[in-house]
A and B are shown apart, each in its own frame.
Chain A
């Protein structure tokens, strides 16, 4: 049985986090807490609300994706997790410690040993070779070249750059540079990985490659990943837990399938209206959960199969019914093709049929 979210350990907890940019953030905080909107605060008090009462739990081994449009505060939020930005109010708790209480030394240790980071614009050191870049985290800790070389080469090999170790970053394409960025984060061996729009600057094809690489690595390493994205398809592909931000506050956070099936408000409905639902929705989201065998099943499907795959299997026939069986071959539900087709219609158009969420 799959581990549910509640069973997992909370690695990073963000509690009531506020960030206000301006001359008197504490003063403006009172207005934010009193419920003034971002635009009002900007107009009347000339302060920018970066983050507004953020509460998120990042679970161990999950990919938590924070997404939102430009200016929604994604970069600001992720930079609070390793305190590249100081909050106006609130706490960030990492493995039980409030990192806001950390001094310089403790903070450096956190950044060196617990968290690594991948940046949208790669931010490699142009004056160091690919190998030296990949080994940055180790070099910072004082490890000598002879001792870090093997480790760095191993990770460069792993991201497919074994042959480029002695080149300088400027000799590499964008996609390859970001592989170095990824290798740099992996070589640090930190359990938490922060990725700020790590793949946004890449061409679509290379982006897909990188996403696949990340998922592959994740299956192997089970890091705790916080991933920032403004691309819904990317978010849905990667996320175990999806946090949607708007104007600095959290609009909705949940498992991606749940958000697709039960969007919290009009903003989210708008947001998800353009995606290819057949490709991202999974059988478990539209099946009726039951162990009771049913007559006339046309075959068996897996709960994690996408609807697209089931449509292909069914040959487009809408009257069919499938048994949903897990890895051990036990039946966990029944999928009616009718439900499947209904689920393909964007939420706003089919209120009643959609909201019956079968998975308990």
Chain B
């Protein structure tokens, strides 16, 4: 006898449950295992006081009726469903995401085979181009030189390459999605819960379904994880930026007969640019956070060293790599913020 027998009796479902209601072939639940190991096992129905009344959970109901599913069947069912769909999904997703693997592979290959005396000046040129600030240029140069000096150049460049590729793809996909959201309220209402979920899901959880779908050796595995995690801010801020464009200015654009295209490229995007750039800044920072976690699934770079530090208790290795990540974070943040400030100043003056 179990606590909730009366439910099934009252509903007349006893027949559906099967006669032998106690401990038949159903796998034992955790409670039962504990009860058995505790030595109290036996058929005698325990007289349950109200104080100890178990919640009518799936397992408790299964006690009363063997046909009722246990909660472990939920997780198993989910797994089975996913595995069944897996082949079909990989069949579609694999070729679709293959370019991501190629992009990541060639970026990693390119940045490591190009000699440092070419890569570093290129990075300096990019810094100068977007920020026009001597101070920042000096800071970036010294930081990278410092990392190279302590023999972390390769790791840092791998991390940078992955971030560049992923952030670029985030912008490429995120800005159009943000524009579409700004144009349709119903699309926005549908997309916001998805974005909320992507943003609140713990970063590790992204990896779980991806590991099943793709092989761990493929770069796209971590590429997708990073992009899913980091794309949210650029979408949100593009949408927000376009919606915040002064309605009077939009009305003037309309009154002078601008087409939708002219309004988008001539007014909305330029005026939303500060917001879009703020989104890009956040996207880059989130890519950096994720690229470290993604080293669990074979993403190269500084994250690998951090992981080694944890696994092998190599304190020094872990700390230095961590410091390297901080330096990269500061560089990326300062450079994107400087370009943002420049755009802002341009629009104000």
Q: Are B252 and A127 in contact (CB under 8 A)?
A: no
Binds A, one of B45-53, B76-84, B253-261, B329-337: B253-261
Identity of the chain B residue whose Cβ is nearest the Cβ of A185 in the assembled complex: B256
Q: How far is the CB of A41 from chain B (nearest CB, A)?
A: 26
Q: Are B251 and A123 in contact (CB under 8 A)?
A: yes
The 8 A CB mask of B239-273 against A (1 = contact, 0 = none) is 00000001011011111111100100001001100
Q: Does B347 contact A (CB under 8 A)?
A: yes
Q: Are B257 and A108 in contact (CB under 8 A)?
A: yes
Q: Are B248 and A117 in contact (CB under 8 A)?
A: no
Q: Are A111 and B267 in contact (CB under 8 A)?
A: no
With A125-B267, A127-B271 as given contacts, are A112 and B349 in contact (CB-CB < 8 Å)?
no
Q: Are B348 and A170 in contact (CB under 8 A)?
A: yes
Q: How far is the CB of B242 from chain A (nearest CB, A)?
A: 14
Q: Are A168 and B257 in contact (CB under 8 A)?
A: no
With A82-B255, A111-B255, A117-B252 as given contacts, are A170 and B267 in contact (CB-CB < 8 Å)?
no
Which of A111, A119, A123, A194 has the most B CB atoms < 10 Å from its CB? A123
Identity of the chain B residue whose Cβ is nearest the Cβ of A127 in the assembled complex: B270
Contact of B256 among A107, A121, A136, A171 (CB under 8 A): A136
The 8 A CB mask of A99-128 against B (1 = contact, 0 = none) is 000000001111110011101010111110
Q: Are A111 and B251 in contact (CB under 8 A)?
A: no
Identity of the chain B residue whose Cβ is nearest the Cβ of A133 in the assembled complex: B252
Q: Does A188 contact B (CB under 8 A)?
A: yes
Bound form: Cα–Cα A121–B247 in Å = 11
Q: Does A140 contact B (CB under 8 A)?
A: yes
Within 8 A of B (CB), among A148-204: 168, 170-171, 184, 188, 194
Identity of the chain A residue whose Cβ is nearest the Cβ of B259 in the assembled complex: A108
Q: How far is the CB of B255 from chain A (nearest CB, A)?
A: 4
Q: Are B257 and A123 in contact (CB under 8 A)?
A: no
Name the B residues within 8 Å of A171 (CB-CB). Answer: 349
Q: Are A126 and B271 in contact (CB under 8 A)?
A: yes
Q: How far is the CB of A94 from chain B (nearest CB, A)?
A: 14
Main secondary structure on A side of the interface with B = mixed
Contact of A121 among B248, B271, B348 (CB under 8 A): B248
Q: How far is the CB of B231 from chain A (nearest CB, A)?
A: 26
Q: Which interface class (under 10, 10 to 19, 20 to 34, 35 or more) fits A?
A: 20 to 34
Name the A residues within 8 Å of B246 (CB-CB). Answer: 123, 126
Q: Are B270 and A140 in contact (CB under 8 A)?
A: no
With A126-B271, A170-B349 as given contacts, are A188 and B256 in contact (CB-CB < 8 Å)?
yes
Q: Does A84 contact B (CB under 8 A)?
A: yes
Within 8 A of A (CB), among B301-349: 346-349
Q: Which interface class (under 10, 10 to 19, 20 to 34, 35 or more) fits B?
A: 20 to 34
The 8 A CB mask of A22-42 against B (1 = contact, 0 = none) is 000000000000000000000
Q: Does A137 contact B (CB under 8 A)?
A: yes
Contact of A127 among B251, B255, B257, B347 (CB under 8 A): B347
Contact of A109 among B255, B257, B348 (CB under 8 A): B257
With A84-B251, A119-B248, A123-B252 as given contacts, are A112 and B270 in contact (CB-CB < 8 Å)?
no
Name the A residues within 8 Å of B271 (CB-CB). Answer: 126-127
Q: Are B255 and A117 in contact (CB under 8 A)?
A: yes
Which of A112, A124, A126, A194 has the most B CB atoms < 10 Å from its CB? A126
Name the B residues within 8 Å of A84 (CB-CB). Answer: 251, 254-255
Name the B residues within 8 Å of A121 (CB-CB). Answer: 248
Identity of the chain A residue whose Cβ is nearest the Cβ of B273 in the assembled complex: A127
Name the A residues within 8 Å of B346 (CB-CB). Answer: 127
With A109-B257, A111-B255, A112-B257 as given contacts, are A123 and B349 in contact (CB-CB < 8 Å)?
no
Q: Are B256 and A119 in contact (CB under 8 A)?
A: no
Contact of B349 among A117, A124, A168 (CB under 8 A): A168
Q: Are B347 and A140 in contact (CB under 8 A)?
A: no
Identity of the chain B residue whose Cβ is nearest the Cβ of A108 in the assembled complex: B257
Q: Are A140 and B254 in contact (CB under 8 A)?
A: no
Name the B residues within 8 Å of A188 (CB-CB). Answer: 256
Q: How far is the CB of A180 from chain B (nearest CB, A)?
A: 11
Within 8 A of A (CB), among B270-296: 270-271
With A111-B256, A126-B249, A188-B256 as given contacts, are A140 and B349 in contact (CB-CB < 8 Å)?
no
Q: Are A140 and B262 in contact (CB under 8 A)?
A: yes
Bound form: Cα–Cα A313–B257 in Å = 52
Identity of the chain A residue whose Cβ is nearest the Cβ of B252 in the assembled complex: A123
Q: How far is the CB of B86 from chain A (nearest CB, A)?
A: 47
Bound form: Cα–Cα A93–B251 in Å = 22
Q: Are A123 and B248 in contact (CB under 8 A)?
A: yes
Bound form: Cα–Cα A184–B256 in Å = 10
Name the B residues within 8 Å of A119 (CB-CB). Answer: 248, 251-252
Q: How far is the CB of A117 from chain B (nearest CB, A)?
A: 4
Bound form: Cα–Cα A126–B271 in Å = 8
Contact of B347 among A107, A111, A126 (CB under 8 A): A126
Bound form: Cα–Cα A182–B238 in Å = 32
Name the A residues within 8 Å of B251 (CB-CB). Answer: 84, 119, 123
Name the A residues within 8 Å of B259 (CB-CB). Answer: 108
Name the B residues within 8 Å of A108 (CB-CB). Answer: 257, 259
Which of A108, A109, A171 has the most B CB atoms < 10 Å from its CB? A108
Q: How far is the CB of B260 from chain A (nearest CB, A)?
A: 9
Name the B residues within 8 Å of A170 (CB-CB). Answer: 348-349
If A112-B257, A125-B253, A127-B271 are given as contacts, then 6 extra A-B residue pairs at C-beta distance below 8 Å, sorted by A number, are A84-B254, A108-B257, A109-B257, A116-B256, A126-B347, A127-B270
Query: Which are the 7 A-B pairs with shortest beta-carbon distances?
Result: A111-B257, A112-B257, A123-B252, A123-B248, A117-B255, A108-B257, A127-B270
Q: Which residues of B contact A (CB under 8 A)?
A: 246, 248-249, 251-259, 262, 267, 270-271, 346-349
Supply 8 A–B pairs (Cβ within 8 Å), ascending by A: A82-B255, A112-B257, A119-B252, A126-B249, A127-B271, A137-B257, A170-B348, A171-B349
